[in-house]
Amino acid sequence: MLALLATYSWQEVRHHAWRSATAVLAVMLGVALAFSVHLINASALDEFASAEALIRWTEKASATPSMTASTAVALRQAWWRTSCQE
Protein backbone atom coordinates (compact mmCIF):
# COMPACT_ATOMS: atom_id res chain seq x y z
CA MET A 1 0.00 0.00 0.00
CA LEU A 2 2.79 2.42 0.87
CA ALA A 3 4.51 1.55 -2.38
CA LEU A 4 1.41 2.52 -4.35
CA LEU A 5 1.09 5.72 -2.35
CA ALA A 6 4.72 6.62 -2.96
CA THR A 7 4.52 5.73 -6.64
CA TYR A 8 1.30 7.44 -7.67
CA SER A 9 -0.13 9.78 -5.06
CA TRP A 10 3.02 11.61 -4.02
CA GLN A 11 3.97 12.21 -7.64
CA GLU A 12 0.55 13.70 -8.26
CA VAL A 13 0.86 15.93 -5.21
CA ARG A 14 4.32 17.11 -6.26
CA HIS A 15 3.30 17.83 -9.85
CA HIS A 16 0.02 19.53 -8.94
CA ALA A 17 0.70 21.03 -5.53
CA TRP A 18 -1.80 23.89 -5.87
CA ARG A 19 -4.55 21.57 -7.06
CA SER A 20 -3.95 19.19 -4.15
CA ALA A 21 -3.82 22.03 -1.62
CA THR A 22 -7.04 23.46 -3.03
CA ALA A 23 -8.78 20.08 -2.74
CA VAL A 24 -7.65 19.70 0.88
CA LEU A 25 -8.79 23.25 1.65
CA ALA A 26 -12.19 22.60 0.05
CA VAL A 27 -12.70 19.50 2.18
CA MET A 28 -11.70 21.42 5.31
CA LEU A 29 -14.13 24.23 4.51
CA GLY A 30 -16.92 21.72 3.87
CA VAL A 31 -16.37 20.08 7.24
CA ALA A 32 -16.27 23.48 8.96
CA LEU A 33 -19.50 24.50 7.23
CA ALA A 34 -21.27 21.30 8.26
CA PHE A 35 -20.10 21.73 11.85
CA SER A 36 -21.25 25.36 11.95
CA VAL A 37 -24.71 24.38 10.64
CA HIS A 38 -24.87 21.72 13.36
CA LEU A 39 -24.01 24.30 16.04
CA ILE A 40 -26.57 26.79 14.70
CA ASN A 41 -29.29 24.14 14.70
CA ALA A 42 -28.43 23.09 18.25
CA SER A 43 -28.52 26.71 19.39
CA ALA A 44 -31.91 27.28 17.74
CA LEU A 45 -33.35 24.18 19.39
CA ASP A 46 -32.08 25.37 22.78
CA GLU A 47 -33.69 28.78 22.25
CA PHE A 48 -37.02 27.21 21.31
CA ALA A 49 -36.85 24.97 24.38
CA SER A 50 -36.14 27.89 26.69
CA ALA A 51 -38.94 29.95 25.13
CA GLU A 52 -41.35 27.08 25.53
CA ALA A 53 -40.30 26.61 29.16
CA LEU A 54 -40.82 30.32 29.83
CA ILE A 55 -44.27 30.27 28.23
CA ARG A 56 -45.26 27.20 30.25
CA TRP A 57 -43.92 28.81 33.43
CA THR A 58 -45.77 32.08 32.84
CA GLU A 59 -49.00 30.21 32.04
CA LYS A 60 -48.63 28.20 35.23
CA ALA A 61 -47.71 31.29 37.23
CA SER A 62 -50.61 33.31 35.84
CA ALA A 63 -52.99 30.66 37.19
CA THR A 64 -51.79 31.40 40.72
CA PRO A 65 -53.10 34.44 42.62
CA SER A 66 -49.58 35.81 43.15
CA MET A 67 -49.12 36.64 39.46
CA THR A 68 -51.73 38.14 37.20
CA ALA A 69 -52.07 37.44 33.50
CA SER A 70 -50.85 40.94 32.67
CA THR A 71 -47.65 40.32 34.65
CA ALA A 72 -47.11 37.07 32.76
CA VAL A 73 -47.58 38.87 29.43
CA ALA A 74 -45.11 41.56 30.52
CA LEU A 75 -42.56 38.87 31.39
CA ARG A 76 -42.99 37.25 27.97
CA GLN A 77 -42.60 40.59 26.19
CA ALA A 78 -39.48 41.43 28.19
CA TRP A 79 -37.99 38.04 27.38
CA TRP A 80 -38.78 38.51 23.69
CA ARG A 81 -37.09 41.92 23.61
CA THR A 82 -33.94 40.66 25.32
CA SER A 83 -33.67 37.53 23.19
CA CYS A 84 -34.06 39.51 19.94
CA GLN A 85 -31.25 41.88 20.90
CA GLU A 86 -28.67 39.11 21.32
Whole-number Å distance between alpha carbons of 77 and 12: 61
The torsion defined by the Cα of 73, 79, 83 and 86, in degrees rounded to 10, comes to: 140
Q: Report if pTM > 0.85.
A: no
Q: Domain total for the chain? A: 1
Give, for all 86 residues of the chain, the pLDDT tens digit. Answer: 778 777 778 888 889 899 999 999 999 999 999 999 999 999 999 989 888 888 887 777 666 555 566 677 777 777 666 666 65
Beta carbons of 54 and 76 less than 8 angstroms apart: yes
Between helix 69-85 and helix 17-62 the angle, nearest 10°, is 170
The parent domain of residue 59 ranges over 2-85
Q: What is the DSSP-derived secondary structure letter of residue 6?
A: I
